[in-house]
């Protein structure tokens, strides 16, 4: 195996590649690493899947390899809580737009020389300056965050455009299983359905309100990042919808990525708007139901209205006495 870990050619690839514009402006590169480098990354003891018969053994094995559960959207850090949910003995929700949650683990103990060099490169200024420059982001306004991560089954984050504090993001698939492209754990790149296009306009017109997750039915998948050794990077905006819903056997292999972000140091966000509050059609229908009830009451005879008022008054008095 090579001991030459000069990754400068990765910056050159990012500099030279043209943007793709569907479903939004982004960089997509296949065969990101050289074959030699990628094969060596895949063969490291840290990236290889641990032998495990159940979730407890899997998570324990990953921790022994140097991974650690981290706070991450669509994931929990409580191992017992995750195992209980994954065993189907708990149906607790993480988010109202999702059906479940997973667990993300970041590699903190790196021993293989190529991973040590690669991690230093990914969180270094040169690589992140190249990403900032590509998307016209002022690098000095940002802080760097990144690492090597694995995501367990159940990991789900519904369509979202990323919060406004995120300036840029990248994801590189380094899955250890050669059949990983066939598994159901890849990132969806999406666009809003025509009936929900007003969501983008709302985000554009309210720059002090953060962008929230929306239900899967509000957007459609244009493509997925299934290729191993591929990178996607973009600068979050009001149309950069993407999502993940992992449903696979993580005892055999785990979704594994190089993942990183540039975060703005300052943020002017003052509020958020949940998808429920932006669901105009449902809100209108609910208001219509209330209005219909009011109209129906108007049609009742006065004698019936009087009885209803007496019953309502009596129930209110009983409720008040119970409180006292």
* pLDDT of 319: 59
Instruction: Identify the pLDDT of residue 3.
Output: 61
Looking at the DSSP bridge assignments, the partners of residue 106 are 68, 149
Q: Does domain 8-272 have CATH number 2.60.120.620?
A: yes
Least confident of 7-21, 73-87, 225-239: 73-87
Q: What is the dihedral of CA 286, 291, 295, 300, to 10 degrees?
A: 60
In the DSSP assignment, the letter for residue 187 is: P
- 20: Cβ–Cβ under 8 A, 6 or more apart, which residues? 26, 27, 28
Q: How confident is the model at residue 1 (pLDDT cuts 50, 70, 90)?
A: very low
> Phi and psi (nearest 5°) for 189?
-110, 125
Predicted pLDDT at 310? 67
pLDDT tens-digit series, residues 110-152: 999 999 999 999 999 999 999 999 999 999 999 999 999 999 9
Average pLDDT over residues 1-6: 68
Rounded to two decimals, what is the model's pTM? Answer: 0.84
The pLDDT score that the predictor gives to residue 100 is 80
Share of the chain above pLDDT 90, in %: 77
Give the angle subtended at the CA of 187 by the CAs of 210 and 28, to the nearest 5°.
95
Q: Given this model, what pLDDT does residue 312 score?
A: 65
End-to-end CA distance of the chain: 79
The domain segmentation of the chain, as residue ranges, is 8-272, 279-323
Mean pLDDT, to the nearest integer, of 160-185? 96
pLDDT, position 4: 75
Rounded distance between C-alpha atoms, residue 45 and residue 61, angstroms: 11
pLDDT at 229: 98
Q: Answer whether residue 2 shows pLDDT above 50.
A: no
Given a cut of 80, is residue 285 above it in pLDDT? no
**Would you say residue 263 has pLDDT above 60?**
yes
Across the chain, mean pLDDT equals 90
**% residues pLDDT > 70 (the chain):** 85
CA distances from 279 to 196, 214, 217, 275 (A): 9, 9, 12, 6
Across 25-35, average pLDDT: 98
Instruction: Report DSSP letters for 153-172, one per residue.
Output: TT-EEEEE---TTEEEEEEE
């Amino acid at each position: 195996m090579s001991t030459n870990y000069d990754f400068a050619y990765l910056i050159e690839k990012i500099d030279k590649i043209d943007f793709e514009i569907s479903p939004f402006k982004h960089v997509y590169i296949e065969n990101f690493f050289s074959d030699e480098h990628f094969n060596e990354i895949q063969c490291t003891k840290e990236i290889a899947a641990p032998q495990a018969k159940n979730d407890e053994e899997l998570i324990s094995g990953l921790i022994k390899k140097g991974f650690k559960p981290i706070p991450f959207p669509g994931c929990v850090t409580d191992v017992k809580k995750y195992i209980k949910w994954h065993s189907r003995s708990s149906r607790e929700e993480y988010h109202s737009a999702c059906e479940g949650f997973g667990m993300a683990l970041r590699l903190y103990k790196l021993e293989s020389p190529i991973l040590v060099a690669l991690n230093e490169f990914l969180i270094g200024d040169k690589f992140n300056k190249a990403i900032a420059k590509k998307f016209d982001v002022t690098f000095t306004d940002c802080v760097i965050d990144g690492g090597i991560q694995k995501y367990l089954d159940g990991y789900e984050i519904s369509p979202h455009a990323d919060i406004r504090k995120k300036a840029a993001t990248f994801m590189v698939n380094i899955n250890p299983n050669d059949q990983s492209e066939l598994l159901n754990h890849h990132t969806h790149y999406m666009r809003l359905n025509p009936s929900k296009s007003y969501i983008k306009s709302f985000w554009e017109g309210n720059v002090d309100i953060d962008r929230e997750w929306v239900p899967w039915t509000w957007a459609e998948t244009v493509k997925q990042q299934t290729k191993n050794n591929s990178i996607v990077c973009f600068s979050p905006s009001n149309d950069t919808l993407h999502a993940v819903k992992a449903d696979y056997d993580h005892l055999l292999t785990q979704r594994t990525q190089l993942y990183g972000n540039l975060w703005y140091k300052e943020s002017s966000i003052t509020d958020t708007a949940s998808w429920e509050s932006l669901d105009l059609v449902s809100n209108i229908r609910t208001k219509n139901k209330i209005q219909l009830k009011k109209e129906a009451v108007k049609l009742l005879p006065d004698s019936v209205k009087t009885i209803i008022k007496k019953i309502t008054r009596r129930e209110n008095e009983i409720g008040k006495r119970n409180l006292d």
